[in-house]
């Protein structure tokens, strides 16, 4: 929930009333960064316009304003961008802008306008240059996921991919992993679009398609720079995938991202790009799927009986954990420091947690009626062990490979979210907003 009690927000409302477009934009960007939002939507309708922020994946309305000032707001951004034509309203336009907020934070904006029946809609994605990559230990990588990740980070060559939707924290995970590996005796070279986080002791290179600085040109140069680790911002085509695999085969560690819904679906995507099974088996070490969810507010957290309120969700949670096997389940509970009391409350009574948004009937001072404060990373780690690679070589399907990994005890996104719900970090509603359960997602009851 957007905090409307700040001084900047009050100034923003006043600027809207006075139609002070210069102040509107400056204050909007500042509020945007303070709310840790990823995107902003400025939308015209028949009788009014509105501004929405995407915070932790959910769009929240920030404010509605009169339609008569909408064109001025859009035109102001077009002029500031130096990349859009202010007189062109019939076709979409793109821009990238570097600017700063009123409190001195440098940010990059990636913006797009779209003609609609009521006027132009403007959507902007933010890259906050002032943010630093958090340590890996702060990314909620727990239990067996923690062991798998750090085991693979020590390997001398191979590919590690992160996958997930836009805004799921993939770049944060990559930067944190590179920061962990960033030692004096390691040479790390990256190719990014854009460079979101400037880090000392990394050789970061910015994509410049406008002058012909392509991935192939960068890779040829990068491999002559004696790298130990290469980071390619995204694998989106065969050329990038092929050269990333070649680098992994020639004793390099390669990090990258890819857009798929789960770790297992990455296999299908890689095959569809043209890779052969032997190439996948010979180069891939780990695929990390992730989501970014809202964290239960610690200040107003209360017990919540999911067994009574939604028995279907409770049944799904128990089923997802029971298929792990008793030994794997016990090991996961212990390694995540889930107390015996919390586990028994959940398994016997169906007790989990949620944020009430209030303390003694009054607004919670930390989350402001929202019930959530900050965010939690959810992970699944699909490790390419020897038997897994043998299955890849004989063209086993992505579903068969996923079932093998789950039977072996892989903590997928659903299981990771359930453990975090038992520990009081996310709500059950958040579990099935961000992950899926085979029975739950077959058209039955929706939360």
Closest by CA position to 384, among listed 291, 292, 277? 277
Is the pLDDT score of 446 beyond 70? Answer: no
Whole-number pLDDT of residue 442:
38
Q: How many CB atoms lie within 10 A of CB 358?
A: 16
Is the pLDDT score of 68 beyond 80? Answer: yes
DSSP summary character for residue 133: P
CATH number of the domain bearing residue 40: 3.30.450.90
In a domain? residue 49: yes
Domain count within the chain: 3
Whole-number pLDDT of residue 130:
64
CA distance linking residue 97 with residue 80, whole number of Å:
8
pLDDT band, residue 197 (cuts 50/70/90): confident
CA distance linking residue 240 with residue 270, whole number of Å:
11
Closest by CA position to 259, among listed 161, 177, 160, 127? 161
Q: Summarize the confidence of residues 89-117 as an average pLDDT.
A: 87
Q: Summarize the confidence of residues 55-70 as an average pLDDT.
A: 85
Whole-number pLDDT of residue 337:
93
Q: Give the residue from 258, 290, 322 where a domain finishes.
A: 290
Render pLDDT for 13-26 as a digit per residue (tens, 0 to 9).
888 888 888 888 88
In a domain? residue 281: yes
212-226, 315-329, 412-426: lowest mean pLDDT where?
212-226
- Is the peptide bond prior to 418 cis by the omega test (within 30 degrees of 0)? no
pLDDT band, residue 192 (cuts 50/70/90): confident
Whole-number pLDDT of residue 2:
66
CA distance linking residue 182 with residue 64, whole number of Å:
46
The answer to whether 171 and 197 are in contact (CB under 8 A) is: yes
Whole-number pLDDT of residue 193:
77
Q: What's the whole-model pTM score? A: 0.84
Whole-number pLDDT of residue 440:
40
The answer to whether 158 and 284 are in contact (CB under 8 A) is: yes
Percentage of the chain modeled with pLDDT above 70: 95
Is the pLDDT score of 441 beyond 90? Answer: no
Q: Give the residue from 96, 128, 160 where a domain finishes.
A: 128
Q: Is the same domain home to 300 and 265?
A: no
Whole-number pLDDT of residue 1:
62
In a domain? residue 445: no
| DSSP codes of every residue in 202-269 | -EEEE-BGGGTB-HHHHHHHHHTT--SEEEES---SHHHHHHHHHHHHTT-EEEEEE--SSHHHHHHH
In a domain? residue 120: yes
Render pLDDT for 322-331 as a digit per residue (tens, 0 to 9).
888 889 999 9
Whole-number pLDDT of residue 444:
40
Q: Is the same domain home to 350 and 217?
A: no
Q: Is the same domain home to 410 and 298?
A: yes
Q: Give the residue from 290, 309, 329 where a domain finishes.
A: 290
Q: Is the same domain home to 379 and 430?
A: yes
Whole-number pLDDT of residue 393:
94
The answer to whether 153 and 180 are in contact (CB under 8 A) is: yes
Q: Is the same domain home to 146 and 284?
A: yes
Is the pLDDT score of 102 beyond 90? Answer: no
Q: How many helices (H) and strands (E) does the chain have?
A: 17, 17
The vertex-256 CA angle with 266 and 151, nearest 5°, equals 85
Q: Indicate the average pLDDT of the chain.
A: 88
Q: Is the same domain home to 420 and 297?
A: yes
In a domain? residue 441: no
Q: Is the same domain home to 281 and 163?
A: yes
Measured between alpha carbons, how far is residue 16 from residues 31, 68, 103, 314 in Å?
Answer: 14, 11, 20, 47
DSSP summary character for residue 164: -
Q: Is the same domain home to 273 and 308?
A: no
Q: Is the same domain home to 146 and 285?
A: yes
Give the position of tokens 């939360």.
447
Of 106 and 253, the one with more pLDDT:
253
Within 323-434, residue ranges assigned H as helices are 326-335, 340-344, 386-393, 398-407, 413-422, 428-434
In a domain? residue 135: no
Q: Is the same domain home to 146 and 212?
A: yes
Whole-number pLDDT of residue 196:
74
CA distance linking residue 17 with residue 68, whole number of Å:
12
pLDDT band, residue 214 (cuts 50/70/90): confident
CATH number of the domain bearing residue 145: 3.40.50.300
Percentage of the chain modeled with pLDDT above 90: 48
In a domain? residue 112: yes
Render pLDDT for 359-417 as a digit per residue (tens, 0 to 9).
988 888 888 778 888 889 999 999 999 999 999 999 899 889 999 999 888 999 999 99
Is the pLDDT score of 114 beyond 90? Answer: yes
Q: Is the same domain home to 163 and 214?
A: yes
Q: Summarize the confidence of residues 203-222 as an average pLDDT.
A: 80
Cross-strand pairs, 140: none
In a domain? residue 266: yes
Domain that holds residue 14: 7-128
Q: How many CB atoms lie within 10 A of CB 260?
A: 19
Whole-number pLDDT of residue 390:
94
Q: Is the same domain home to 149 and 285?
A: yes
């Amino acid at each position: 929930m957007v905090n409307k009690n700040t001084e900047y927000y009050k100034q923003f409302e006043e600027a809207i009333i006075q139609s002070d477009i210069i102040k509107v934009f400056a204050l909007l960007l500042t509020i945007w960064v303070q709310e840790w939002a990823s995107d902003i939507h400025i939308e015209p309708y028949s009788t009014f316009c509105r501004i929405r922020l995407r915070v932790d994946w959910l769009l929240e309305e920030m404010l509605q304003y009169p339609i008569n000032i909408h064109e001025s707001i859009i035109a102001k951004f077009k002029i500031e961008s130096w990349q859009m034509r202010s007189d062109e309203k019939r076709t979409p336009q793109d821009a990238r802008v570097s600017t700063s907020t009123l409190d001195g934070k440098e940010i990059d904006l990636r913006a797009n306008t779209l003609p609609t029946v009521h006027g132009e809609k403007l959507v902007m994605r933010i890259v906050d240059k002032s943010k630093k990559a958090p340590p890996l230990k702060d990314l909620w990588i727990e239990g067996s996921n923690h062991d798998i990740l750090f085991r693979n980070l020590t390997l001398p060559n191979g590919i590690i991919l992160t996958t997930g939707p836009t805004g799921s924290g993939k770049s944060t995970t990559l930067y944190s992993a590179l920061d962990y590996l960033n030692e004096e005796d390691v040479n790390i070279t990256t190719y990014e679009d854009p460079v979101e986080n400037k880090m000392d002791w990394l050789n970061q290179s910015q994509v410049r398609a406008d002058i012909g600085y392509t991935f192939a040109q960068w890779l040829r140069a990068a491999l002559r720079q004696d790298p130990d680790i290469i980071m390619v911002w995204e694998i989106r085509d065969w050329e990038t995938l092929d050269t990333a695999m070649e680098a992994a085969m020639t004793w390099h560690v390669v990090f990258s991202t890819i857009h798929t819904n789960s770790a297992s679906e990455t296999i299908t995507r890689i095959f569809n790009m043209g890779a052969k099974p032997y190439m996948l088996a010979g180069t891939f070490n780990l695929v990390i799927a992730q989501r970014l969810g809202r964290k239960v507010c610690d200040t107003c957290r209360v017990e919540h009986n999911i067994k009574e309120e939604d028995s279907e969700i409770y049944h799904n949670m128990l089923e997802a954990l029971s298929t792990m096997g008793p030994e794997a389940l016990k090991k996961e509970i212990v390694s995540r420091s889930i107390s015996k009391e919390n586990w028994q409350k959940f398994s016997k009574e169906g007790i989990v947690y949620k944020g009430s948004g209030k303390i003694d009937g009054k607004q919670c001072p930390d989350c402001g009626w929202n019930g959530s404060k900050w965010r939690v990373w959810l992970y699944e780690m699909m490790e390419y062990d020897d038997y897994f690679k043998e299955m890849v070589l004989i063209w086993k399907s992505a579903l068969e490979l996923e079932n093998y990994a789950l039977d072996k005890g892989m903590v997928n996104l659903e299981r990771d979210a359930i453990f975090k719900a038992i520990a009081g970090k996310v709500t059950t509603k958040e579990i099935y907003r961000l992950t899926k359960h085979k029975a739950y997602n077959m058209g039955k009851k929706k939360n």
